[in-house]
Amino acid sequence: PCHWDKKIIDEILAQNSRITNIEIKEIYGCLARGPIAHGRAPNTVPNVTKKEAINFRKYVRSLGFRFTYLLNAPFEFKTKKQKKEIKSYLDWIIDELEADSLMIASYPLMKFIRENYSSNIPIYISTIAGILNAKQLECFLEIHPSRIVPHHDINRNFKDLKELIKKTEKSVYDDLPMSFV
Q: What is the pLDDT of residue 180?
A: 61
What DSSP character marks residue 125?
Answer: E
Question: CA angle 127-132-133, nearest 5°?
Answer: 130
Which candidate, 36, 29, 37, 32, places its Cα nearest to that of 8? 29
Q: Is 103 helix (H, G, I), strand (E, B) or coil?
A: strand
Buried b or exposed e, range 29-41, using 16+ CB within 10 angstroms:
bbbeebebbbbbe
Counting DSSP H helices and E strands in the chain, the numbers are 6, 8
pLDDT tens-place values along the chain, 181 residues long:
889 999 999 998 888 888 777 788 999 999 998 888 777 777 888 999 999 999 999 999 999 999 999 998 888 888 999 999 999 999 999 999 999 999 999 999 999 999 999 778 999 999 999 999 889 888 898 898 999 988 888 777 788 778 887 877 765 544 555 666 6
